[in-house]
């Protein structure tokens, strides 16, 4: 896979259509998504890059990142007339973006098609040089893999975030996501499951009551339990405010982490409702479409059938959505079972 080409795979028409027809209803009625402070962000047309730095959580498929990307992109598009092809570009770990099993319902190159970019220092620098806006999760994979017992406790940040924001005069927006810790609750790391994760080339795998049902309902590899999600966009931070003369970058970065941690603790008190199954029932009753079309069991059909609209353009090969209903086998790629040789440079896992 070319390291330089994934930005060119972005398909704005697919991304905005997906947001309207598929992600929007799921975000509103299943996740009960609420946004706070989005209208107070700096104007994205004012010439400075904006870096959205958010907490990461869930021990599951990264729906917190998908919801954050959706919230910002569609608000800018609908309220500011911002072109979708200028949406913030989310940096995604290669363990997610490159492996076929981690394409959403194995839709080819799905992350790149919706505008995501591999989370590399080079890509981060290039985006800022181009004046693009960026979504980043400074905790990286350790954040989303955090044990449930440590929920809402931020992991250490990486120093390039603040250094690059300073160099390129970019705003930093502290973003807190509340609710995603309950996507896969009561899950904690275990040595045996860490070993299994390495063997399966998974970023993480946790021991939990839910994990044992996964072979029976494979679609839940991509699904999560319902939880009301609130995304709070904090006040813009000027990087220079965090840096004193002669200060070490690690110390300055820890100041940024502390700001986000404090905001997260306050928001947890305001917005954390656990899974709130009662609220889910009420939300689904108010939906304009049948409830079963909004829950994870139907998501394979919803995403794949929508992608078929673009089968002659960008998705020449799509799986059958019913595949993800087949116990055990649904966790595997049909092409792997047929022992088809992957094209050179592509991952088959």
Any domain includes 339: no
Any domain includes 97: yes
- 219-to-187, 321, 327, 337, 338 alpha-carbon distances in Å: 18, 9, 9, 18, 20
Does the pTM surpass 0.85? The reply is yes
Any domain includes 52: yes
Any domain includes 338: no
pLDDT in tens, 291-349: 999 999 999 999 999 999 998 889 988 999 999 999 999 988 877 655 544 444 444 44
Provide the pLDDT for residue 337. 57
Any domain includes 341: no
CATH number for the domain that contains residue 26: 3.40.1130
CA distance 225 to 275: 7
Any domain includes 208: yes
pLDDT in tens, 13-26: 999 999 999 999 99
pLDDT in tens, 98-141: 888 889 999 999 999 999 999 999 999 999 999 999 999 999 88
Q: Which residues contact 131 (CB under 8 A, 6 or more apart)?
A: 47, 48, 49
Any domain includes 138: yes
Provide the pLDDT for residue 325. 96
Q: State the total domains in the chain.
A: 1
* CB-neighbour burial class of residue 333 (10 A; exposed 0-12, middle 13-18, buried 19+): middle
Any domain includes 207: yes
Residue-number span of the structural domain to which 103 is assigned: 6-213+226-320
Provide the pLDDT for residue 344. 43
């Amino acid at each position: 896979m070319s390291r330089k080409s994934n930005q060119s795979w972005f398909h704005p028409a697919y991304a905005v259509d997906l947001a309207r027809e598929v992600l929007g209803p799921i975000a509103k009625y299943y996740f009960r998504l609420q946004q706070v402070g989005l209208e107070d962000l700096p104007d994205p047309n004012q010439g400075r890059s904006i870096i959205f730095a958010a907490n990461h959580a869930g021990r599951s498929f990264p729906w917190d990142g998908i919801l954050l990307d959706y919230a910002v992109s569609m608000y800018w598009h609908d309220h500011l007339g911002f072109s979708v092809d200028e949406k913030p570009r989310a940096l995604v770990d290669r363990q997610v973006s490159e492996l076929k099993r981690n394409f959403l319902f194995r839709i080819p190159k799905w992350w790149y098609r919706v505008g995501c970019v591999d989370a590399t220092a080079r890509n981060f620098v290039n985006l800022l040089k181009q004046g693009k806006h960026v979504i980043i999760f400074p905790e990286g994979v350790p954040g989303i893999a955090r044990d449930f017992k440590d929920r809402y406790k931020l992991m250490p940040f990486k120093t390039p975030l603040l250094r690059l924001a300073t160099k390129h005069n970019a705003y930093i927006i502290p973003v807190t996501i509340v609710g995603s810790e309950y996507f896969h609750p009561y899950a904690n790391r275990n040595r045996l499951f860490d070993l299994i994760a390495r063997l399966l080339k998974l970023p993480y795998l946790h021991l939990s009551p839910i994990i044992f049902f996964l072979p029976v309902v494979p679609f839940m590899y991509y699904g999560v339990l319902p939880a009301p999600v609130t995304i709070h966009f904090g006040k813009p931070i000027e990087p220079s405010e965090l840096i004193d003369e002669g200060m070490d970058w690690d110390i300055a970065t820890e100041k940024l982490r502390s700001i986000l941690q404090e905001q997260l603790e306050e928001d947890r008190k305001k917005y954390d409702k656990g899974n709130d199954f009662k609220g889910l029932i009420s939300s689904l009753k108010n939906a304009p479409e049948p409830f079963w079309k909004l829950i994870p069991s139907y998501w394979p059909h919803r995403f794949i059938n929508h992608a078929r609209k673009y089968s002659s353009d960008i998705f020449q090969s799509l799986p059958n959505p019913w595949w993800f209903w087949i116990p055990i086998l649904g966790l595997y790629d049909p092409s792997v079972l047929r022992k088809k040789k992957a094209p050179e440079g592509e991952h088959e896992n």
